[in-house]
Each structure stands twice: as structure tokens, then as C-alpha cells.
Amino acid sequence: MGRKLLIHNDKVPGIHSLEVYRAHGGYASVEKALKTMTPDQVTDEVKKSGLRGRGGAGFPTGLKWSFLAKPEGVPRYLVCNADESEPGTFKDRYLMEIIPHALIEGMITSSYALGAKTSYIYIRGEYFYVARIVEKAIAEAYEAGWLGKNILGTDFSHDCYVQVGGGAYICGEETALLESLEGKRGNPRIKPPFPAVAGLWGCPTVVNNVETIAAVCPIVNMGGEEYAKIGIGKSTGTKLISASGHINKPGVYEIELGVPVEEFIYSEEYCGGIRNGKKMKAVVAGGSSVPILPTELILKTAKGEPRLMTYESLGDGGFQTGTMLGSGGFIVMDEDTSIVKNLFTFTRFYHHESCGQCSPCREGTGWMEKILKKFLNGTANESDVELLWDIQSKIEGKTICPLGEAAAWPVAAAIRHFKQEFLDIAKSKKFVDVSHYDKLYKVRA
């Protein structure tokens, strides 16, 4: 059984309430930080912990915090990125829905470290009911004095608000999120300047993912060095993984970074193996944007070493034979899955979600969707595989924000590892979908 630091209490009845959360040690990090530590000491602990951004990019959090400009007389902001919309990812929703105070506690402790008097939690619009849960928790925190003026009798005051989005994947990109928070279209900004210098309303701002902010609490409580002992190498601590697809036990799992991929998929503690006794065909390990890998490469690296759930091990071999931990959106596909059709759903997604600012992404995603549709209609030619490859290679690195890469990588990886599937459809001029949806006919509790 691995250690859990974020959702260890998720089965405790009433853990969404302040009373129960507090009875289980909640808000200890706020007490410790405000009463016994300086803001810089909190930042130091986060640096020592080796915590990396849990939204997908994996950038060291302590380092990001240290970039925050601190000019006199200018407000600084902490913004929580709760726009979770990477296909395959639903961990932040789980955390906010079940233990909303874990996020609020993290917001207060982190804001203290950053010197932010105001913070915003930007939640995707579709999660309206989650926003309501978080708002209720915020109201409880105000009433109990964890938010508001002079928290715990110190001179630190803090206000925290929830903002809902309007339904746009792109707002998970931090500068698009800030635009959206300012009441505008979610068009990513050109960087630099980075949000740490000019973010929300032009003020220095830190944008962190829900899970990253929640992880600050155990880090402050146990100390950064202790936290860094969990995990392997530069992949420290625990990570929430959203497991879905053709597995026996889909859901959110907290793992110690370093669990072997094979154990994660097949052990009863986690995914519980492939449904209906089928064999596994492929895995998208870190949300739709990261390269898909066939079974042999997700279980073992090209060197034959067991693949581990860490940033480094999943990345081993680069994009030729490796992938990324990303957001931890872990989608497992069984032997009957059509990689081409799954790719089509991804590409349709990126086409739908492109903000339209940059031509390569706006036009390229639509073009790729059209070509993939030809494969599903049985009208594609063999040369269309080359065309797809060509288009994706001309999106990557040519856009303001990483949505371009996110749209290109899955296409490149699908062709790299499953080219024969594309060619077979093109040759036979026929697409046969053998996927089984047996689940739909069963009555579920």
C-alpha cells in the first residue's frame, strides 16, 4: 500500500465539511506556516520538496514561485487552475468535490508564501456543481476565521473567490485562463512577459493546478525534505492518477511516484486489469496530448527496463519510444480498440478547442480531423498517412501556446506506433469498428 497525502481521507463520511476536515488534521499547514514560519521559509520548503506542477507541464513549483515579481505597492495574486479539461483527466474534480477544504487550505498557505492578499479559483464552467461545493467550503472557512482579516490573529489577511468559466479547453493554458478571468475570450498571451511579472490585470501572478496547491499542505506539515523522500529521483511525492478506459476499476488513484506501470494497470489496488479478460493494446498515460504507446512500450522501455510511473521513466526514450506523465490522465485501451478512431476523437476535440489565434493550429487541426474522417468513411488513400504526418509536423512549435503541440503529438505517436492500422484501412477502403459496448445493456446500481 503506497502512502497517500492528498486523498487519504476521501472515504471519511462528511470530509467535505470543515468540522470533519479539521478533526482529521485539516488546516494544520495554515497554523504552522502563519505562526511559526516566514513566507520565504514556506517557499523554501516547497523548493526542497521537489514538487512539480501537477497540471501537466511538470515545472518545479518552488522555482515558479521564486520568479514572482514583488514590486512595492502592487498587488500579487494566486490563481488556481481548476479548468481541468484534458481528456482523460478528472482528478481535480474528485479532489474538489470530495475534500474541497484541502484546496482552500493550500490556497491560504500558498498565498501566505507568495504575499497574495487575494486569490481566485478558476473552475471550468461544466463543473458548476463543483464550484458550488467549493464556494460552500469557502463560506465555512470565512466563518471559522481561516479566511478574511487577520487570520489566526496574525497580520495576514486573505480573500479567496471562485470564478466559473464558460466551457473552453484552452483556458487551462495559464495565460488564456487569466484572459478568461478578466472577462475576455480565452486567447493565450504571447510570453514573455510571464504571469509572474505581468499576470492578472497586469499584476504579478502565480497560476498553479488544484493538485499542486493541495500538495503544499502536506509539504508544509511534514517538511520539504521528508516529502522529497517519497518517489524516485526528480519525481518526488505522490500524484493523483485518473484511470479510465477498458479497465476493471476506473477511478482516481493516489500513487507514490515510482509505482511500476504494470502494477498500476494490473494490481487490484489500482486499475484491476483489463475488462472482460481482454488483452491490452495501448495506453495514453498522461492525458490526450501525450503520445500513445503500445503495450510493449508502456510496460517496458526500449532498453527493456520496467516502465515506472515517474516523469523520467515515462519520458525515457523521448517521443520515439516514450511518452509523458502529463496530467496523469491514464486511458487504457483493449485489443479491440481502433487507434485510428480514438485518434479521431482526440483530433476532433483539438479542432473544437483551438482558439483560432494561430493559423497552423486553427487550420491544421481541422484539416487533420477531415483526413481522419476519410479513414473512418473508408475513403482515405495510403498517401493520406504521409499527409497527416506532414500536417502535424507543421503545427508543432509554430503556435503561441502548447495547444499546437497537444494536437500534433497524438497524431504523430499514433502513426509512429500504429502505422499499419492506417495503411490497412486505406488499402481495404473499409473501416470496421469492432469495439464492444456491453456495459450499456447492463443495469447498474
Partner 1 sequence: MGAQVHGTQQFDKTRRTEIKFGPLAMETVKTIISHYPEAKIKSALLPVLHIAQAEFGGWLSPEVMDYVASVLKIKPIEVFEVASFYSMYNLKPVGKCVLEVCQTSSCWLNGAEDIVKYIEKKLNIKVGETTKDGMFTLKVAECLGSCGTAPMLQCGASYHENLTYEKVDSLLEKYKSEGKQKNYTDLDYHNTL
Residues that bind partner 1 (CB under 8 A): 16, 84-90, 93, 120, 124-129, 132-133, 161, 163-169, 180-186, 201, 242-246, 250-252, 284, 288, 329, 331, 333, 337, 341-342, 345-346, 348-349, 352-353, 355, 435, 437, 439-444
Distance CA 334, CA 244 (A): 12
Is the CB of 245 or the CB of 315 nearer to partner 1?
245
Cell 484501412 locates to: 425
Question: In a 10 Å sphere around its CB, with 0-12 CB exposed, 13-18 middle and 19+ buried, how is residue 392 labelled?
Answer: buried
Q: DSSP code of 172?
A: G
Is the CB of 241 or the CB of 308 nearer to partner 1?
241
Is the CB of 184 or the CB of 427 nearer to partner 1?
184
* Nearest distance in Å: CB 284, partner 1: 7
Cell 486573505 locates to: 158
* Nearest distance in Å: CB 113, partner 1: 22
* Residue type, position 228, single letter: A
Report the run of H or E that residue 21 belongs to, with start and end: helix 18-23
Is the CB of 47 or the CB of 246 nearer to partner 1?
246
* Nearest distance in Å: CB 41, partner 1: 30
| Distances from the Cα of 321 to the Cα of 43, 294, 324, angstroms | 36, 9, 11
* Nearest distance in Å: CB 229, partner 1: 30
Is the CB of 47 or the CB of 189 nearer to partner 1?
189
* Residue type, position 308, single letter: L
Is the CB of 218 or the CB of 294 nearer to partner 1?
294
Check if the beta carbon of residue 148 is closer than 8 Å to that of residue 104.
no
Is the CB of 344 or the CB of 367 nearer to partner 1?
344
| Grid coordinates of 31 | 497554523
Nearest alpha-carbon partner for 123 in 210, 186, 17: 210
Cell 489566526 locates to: 152
Report the run of H or E that residue 109 belongs to, with start and end: helix 100-114
* Nearest distance in Å: CB 344, partner 1: 9
* Nearest distance in Å: CB 326, partner 1: 14
* Nearest distance in Å: CB 93, partner 1: 5
Distance CA 219, CA 15 (A): 20
Cell 482558439 locates to: 355
Is the CB of 214 or the CB of 333 nearer to partner 1?
333
Distance CA 324, CA 292 (A): 9
* Nearest distance in Å: CB 210, partner 1: 12
Distance CA 294, CA 283 (A): 6
